[in-house]
Chains A and B, each alone.
Chain A
Amino acid sequence: MKSPEISQALRKLVGILDEAKIPYMIIGGYALTAYGRIRTTQDVDLAIAASFPDIVRTHDLLRRNGYQLPSAPHREAAFFLAIDLENRIEFEIWTEPDGVVFDDELLKRRVRIRPFVDDFEAYVIGPEDFIVNKLARKSREVGDEQDAASVLKLQEGKLDYDYLMQRAKQANVIGLLQTIMQML
């Protein structure tokens, strides 16, 4: 059983970003399944590596492809919403995800997954960056900490711990990370 709307909507969005050469990665609940526990999620979060002119270009591109964009591009906004009206799916498109530094290393560590268990492949954030993103969220909730904990547990021994510590330090979440690791 799978949701055809989400599948179609994600394929369409990834196709548009690929064509526009905007590097992207899935974050949030859809990325969590690749590394940790399984939990439900109603929206789809994507992060894009884009300068402000590229963000404006992405906005225009999405609008021309029939997406509803409730807000105009803004330099200080961490994300914008894009609603796929045809499939009735809301995307949160993050341009500055919490704790995530867009650099070549981050992009290199993205992983290709098959979220709908068919031939469609898309990039998800790497597991170390996923953990840091969750712990660095400004509106961090218990669920975010549990998401990070589940990835630490399931990926135990497979993570690049030096990289994880380095990114956690940059994002000011090293204390939180160590506390969770001690509890596991």
Chain B
Amino acid sequence: MRSLVRVTSEKNGVGRPRRVVRTTPLGKQFVEQFDQLSDIHLQGNENDIKKAAKQAEEVRRLVELGVDPYVRFQEVNEIARNISSTTQIGRHP
């Protein structure tokens, strides 16, 4: 039977042999053609792109005001990390 992937076992030191999944020549061809097809369509729509453009404009204004984007980035990222770690603590009491 023709398949897209091939599973092999590899012994690497102690423990159970690792299962390695590799594409067959047919699988490789499938992935290449899939990649070409995925070039045709955007995952988002025009509104998503326009929203990103608006966010870029906001950064432009920040820079004009003399704010380094990395300063703002560190601020929002730190808030997000704190929220994320608080949520994880909540999940594992």
List residues of chain A with CB under 8 Å of any chain B CB. 1-3, 6, 33-34, 36-42, 72, 76, 113-117, 138, 140-142, 144-147, 149-151, 153-154, 172-176, 179-180, 183-184
Contact = CB atoms under 8 A, between A and B. Distances in A.
Contacts of B6: none
Contacts of B44: 142, 145-146
Interface in B47-86: 48-53, 55-60, 68-81, 84
14 contacts: A3-B74, A36-B52, A38-B59, A116-B70, A117-B70, A140-B38, A142-B48, A146-B44, A149-B56, A150-B53, A172-B36, A174-B39, A183-B49, A184-B49
B42 interface: yes
A176 B39 contact: yes
A171 B31 CA distance: 14
Contact of A115 (B52, B56, B59, B70): B70
Contacts, number: 108
B7 interface: no
Interface of B: 12, 22, 35-36, 38-40, 42-44, 46, 48-53, 55-60, 68-81, 84
B53 A184 contact: yes
Contacts of B43: 140-142, 144-145
Given A146-B44, A146-B52, A172-B35, A36 B59 contact: yes
B47 to A, nearest CB: 10
Contacts of B22: 76
Contact of B42 (A37, A138, A154, A176): A176
Given A117-B71, A145-B48, A183-B50, A138 B78 contact: no
Contacts of A149: 49, 52-53, 56
A147 B59 CA distance: 13
A117 B49 contact: no
Contacts of A141: 43
Contacts of A40: 76-77, 79-80
Nearest to B50: A183
